[in-house]
């Protein structure tokens, strides 16, 4: 997160306007100006990261920001606020509040003096915010849900691909929007890869996140735990089989066993809907054309990974899969210097990279004639 602030600090001296050709008696140029007050709304997962992604660009381009922390996870953003005070930022530039989305969040959206909403969270809430923002015609950026594909070709480095696929859906106990919860494996290696992923997942330590060797932590809160568990039953009821997992963990805590569903069809809810837990589906494919069609058969388009040793395959597939970010052979590598966008129901607007200028400034054109 410190790197995020360092990156945006570098933009402060690099925001420039343009001059335009004109006939001799006039001079036309443009300026980039701050929007004013930014309303930032972040989710409960990854609160420190999400807070830095909102605050850093807002203040770098001369805005102030009111950040609403996730209802279930306000402490990390509030601690960041304390650090900002210690760093000496003037009072009123960064303001961090807690409260429910329906109250505190909605007030930011409705307030006429808030010029922009930058939201990270569920697609359902993002759609509501977009409708609400119409009343004041706010600028809005929405980073929403995902149901990302992991595509493993037969020529991939299987050790890396299996590791990437496992990390791709159990990281953060599956509570991440970019995670690869639809795994597609070329049919000639499908059985071996499926078994390798299932075996790796079944050996992961589930436990307290405060223990250094824990690899799968609990669900964040009871309501979410119940939702994830309900999908385990939905998958079984619709005919899928759990190659591993498929049940909650008994005892204390909101633990769900990492689950890999096989015998899955594209009509099943576990294939289509964002579960936001350590639950993935695995499906075989024949060739590029088929897997591209399956990967794009989703209302989401946030992220995805491709595993192959062929550069041409990598270029062809990455150009046709509709996702805002694609990883070829690594997984889950985010760089604030590169734009981050979403296709379809995964969002509106771009964060990070050079496009952050458009996200947090307004263009003014000045025409002079004397």
Report the C-alpha gap between 100 and 209 in whole angstroms.
Answer: 26
Report the C-alpha gap between 148 and 99 in whole angstroms.
Answer: 30
Report the C-alpha gap between 351 and 253 in whole angstroms.
Answer: 35
Q: How far is CA 296 from CA 147, 152, 234, in A?
A: 10, 15, 23
Report the C-alpha gap between 10 and 12 in whole angstroms.
Answer: 6
Residues 86, 177, 262, 288: which is the catalytic one?
177
Exposed/middle/buried for 116, CB within 10 Å: 0-12, 13-18, 19+? buried
C-beta of residue 42 within 8 angstroms of C-beta of residue 51: yes
Report the C-alpha gap between 201 and 180 in whole angstroms.
Answer: 14
218 — phi, psi (to 5°)?
Answer: -80, 165
**Is-catalytic flag, 356?**
no
**What is the token pair recorded at 363?**
């263009």
**Is-catalytic flag, 229?**
no
Residues 23, 82, 143, 247: which is the catalytic one?
143
Q: What is the CA radius of gyration of the chain?
A: 23
Residue 271's nearest CA partner among 185, 182, 207, 184 is 182
Exposed/middle/buried for 11, CB within 10 Å: 0-12, 13-18, 19+? middle
- Calculate helix-pair angle for 190-202, 158-170, nearest 10 degrees: 50
Report the C-alpha gap between 100 and 240 in whole angstroms.
Answer: 36
**Which active-site residues does the annotation give?**
143, 177
């Amino acid at each position: 997160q410190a790197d995020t602030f360092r990156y945006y600090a570098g933009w402060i001296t690099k925001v420039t306007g343009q001059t335009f050709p004109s006939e001799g008696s006039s001079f036309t140029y443009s300026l980039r100006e701050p929007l004013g007050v930014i309303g930032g709304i972040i989710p409960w997962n990854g609160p420190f990261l999400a807070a830095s992604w909102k605050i850093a660009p807002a203040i770098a381009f001369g805005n102030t920001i009111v950040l609403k922390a996730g209802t279930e996870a306000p402490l990390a953003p509030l601690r960041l606020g304390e650090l900002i005070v210690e760093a000496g930022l003037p009072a009123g530039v960064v303001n961090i509040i807690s409260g429910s989305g329906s109250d505190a969040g909605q007030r930011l959206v409705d307030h006429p003096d808030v010029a922009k909403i930058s939201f990270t969270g569920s697609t359902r809430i993002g759609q509501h915010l977009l409708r609400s923002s119409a009343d004041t015609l706010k600028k809005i950026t929405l980073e929403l849900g995902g149901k990302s594909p992991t595509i493993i070709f037969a020529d991939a480095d299987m050790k890396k691909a299996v590791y990437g696929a496992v990390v791709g859906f159990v990281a953060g106990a599956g509570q991440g929007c970019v995670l690869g919860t639809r795994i597609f494996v070329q049919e000639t290696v499908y059985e071996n890869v499926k078994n390798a992923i299932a075996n790796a997942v079944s050996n992961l330590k589930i436990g307290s996140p405060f223990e250094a060797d824990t690899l799968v932590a609990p669900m964040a809160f009871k309501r979410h735990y119940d939702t994830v568990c309900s999908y385990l039953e939905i998958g079984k009821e619709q005919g899928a089989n759990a190659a591993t997992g498929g049940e909650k963990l008994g005892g204390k805590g909101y633990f769900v066993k990492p689950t890999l569903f096989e015998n899955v069809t594209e009509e099943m809810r576990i294939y289509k809907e964002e579960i936001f837990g350590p639950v993935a589906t695995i499906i075989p494919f024949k060739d590029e054309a088929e897997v591209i069609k399956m990967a794009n058969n989703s209302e989401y388009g946030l992220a995805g990974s491709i595993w192959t040793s062929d550069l041409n395959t990598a270029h062809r597939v990455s150009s046709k899969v509709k996702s805002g970010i694609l990883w070829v052979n690594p997984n889950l590598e985010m760089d604030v210097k590169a734009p981050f966008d979403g296709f379809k129901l995964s969002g509106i607007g771009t964060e990070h990279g050079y496009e952050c200028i458009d996200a947090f400034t307004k263009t003014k054109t000045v025409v002079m004639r004397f």
